[in-house]
Structure 1
């Protein structure tokens, strides 16, 4: 039995093991082999999505860069898959845990910073002082820009996990009150739950897109 409501977001809350993390690789069993062999409707739809994302990321990174767009599309795909999988009952939402989101955000941000400071040091120093800043405010702007740069991986991780937790927590709170309601109120509750589930589906797509776009913007600043 769970000690508190937030224990539902603990990957070891149910089986006393970390086996719930297997949901992150469950997609390899669910995706049919025909997806990779013939141009099915799912394949055509996914190719359309990836091509659209490639054009958007290419505009952010630069017209001569092709490799980074593939990496960011892969990040988008992984987050979207895990967010969508968490909408099913009794499946742990791995992206609601800071351990996963921070493990994705920190290496991305750290690699961008290392590349930028090693290859474009002057460009990175120029980013610390916005253009047109008065000389008196330059030390303060350097401190502010440095802090805002250092907390980027944390904000990426918290934004994703908090949005995943908030919707699931609200649905759990409403669902636990179902046994205490009358038939009329229960009908309204079911309609509300369906609307929340639709909203959570949209949030799952939006948050994966936001994570990928912000990562792309951070990478474009080091060039």
Structure 2
């Protein structure tokens, strides 16, 4: 039963053994050229305002020497939020609900930060393992705890995004599958509930993209 339930999220369409569902990840790029050749619209002005706001927030979390890195986190936010919203459309594969994509974003980012931090700022990286004011007897335990916390960061980033996206889609699918067996009066309540869940999923799509980008910025800010 569980295998059949979760199989709806697996890529099934293929051409020459290539899963075409993953092509939905690139659909978000179709929105970008419009910003360069068309005259400014309300959508482009809104998106520019969002980018400027994100830049200011990420800039406050980073060191002055790392301000230019904000463009990377804005790009990550844009990629995730585009894919999250595209996943709300019928018959569009939600790539951000799979660990393959989320780990592909978090793991290289974390690995790059670790290489840069331990090669350029080794003393500061060791200092982060022992919080200030820790008693001497607890230092070995704090080093172990901080090390484990640091190692699982890419996994927590990936699982948080994938779990939140797949949970809402799964709930929408479960409620929608009961529609044909309901009476007409109850069906109206089901449609209303589906609309509310769709609005909630739209909010989750933005929030989870923002959380992923902000946490990545905070992890970068620790490399000083």
Please give the range of the TM-score, normalised by the shorter of the 2 chains.
over 0.9
2 CA distance for matches of 1:182 and 1:9?
28
Q: Aligned partners of 1:32, 1:64: CA distance in 2, in Å?
A: 28
Q: Aligned-pair distance for 1:74?
A: 0.3
Give the match's secondary structure for 1:26: helix
Distance 1:28 1:169, change over 3 A: same
Q: Which runs of structure 1 show a deviation greater than 6 angstroms over 4 or more consecutive aligned residues?
A: none
Query: Is 1:76 aligned with 2:80?
Result: no
C-alpha deviation, 1:33, in angstroms = 5.0
Is 1:85–2:86 an aligned residue pair? yes
Unaligned runs of 5+ residues in structure 1 are: none
Q: Which residue of 1 aligns with 2:21?
A: 20
Once the 2 structures are TM-superposed, how far is the Cα of residue 14 of structure 1 from its aligned partner? 4.1
Asked if the contact 1:34/1:40 (under 8 Å) is kept, the reply is no
> How far 1:121 sits from its partner (Å)?
0.5
Assess if the C-alpha contact under 8 Å between 2:13 and 2:20 holds in 1: no
Q: Residues 34 and 137 from structure 1, CA distance in 2 versus in 1: closer, same or farther, beyond 3 angstroms?
A: closer
Shift in Å, 1:10: 1.3
Is contact 2:86–2:92 with CA below 8 Å preserved after alignment?
Answer: yes
Structure 1 residues 40-89: Cα deviation after superposition (integer angstroms, max 9, x where no partner): 22211111000000000000012343321000000000000000000000
Counterparts in 2 of 1:149 and 1:207: CA distance versus 1, 3 Å: same
Equivalent residue number for residue 98 of structure 2:
97
Partner of 1:115: 116
Given the superposition, is the C-alpha separation of residues 197 and 66 from structure 1 closer, same or farther in structure 2, using an over 3 Å criterion?
same
Q: How large is the RMSD of aligned CA atoms in angstroms?
A: 1.6
How many aligned positions are there? 220
1:177 is aligned to 178
| Alpha-carbon distance change, 120 to 193 in structure 1, aligned in 2, over 3 angstroms | same
2:9 is the counterpart of 1:9: yes
Offset at 1:27? 2.9
C-alpha deviation, 1:28, in angstroms: 3.5
Contact 1:21 1:92 in 2 (8 A): yes
Once residues 29 and 134 of structure 2 are traced to their aligned partners in structure 1, the CA distance between those partners, rounded to angstroms, is 52
Q: Deviations over 1:96-144 (max 9, x none)?
A: 0000000100011111111110011010000101111111111111000
Aligned position for 2:45: 44
Aligned equivalents of 1:221 and 1:23: distance in 2? Answer: 34
Counterpart in 1 of 2:54?
Answer: 53
Gap regions ≥5 residues in structure 2: none
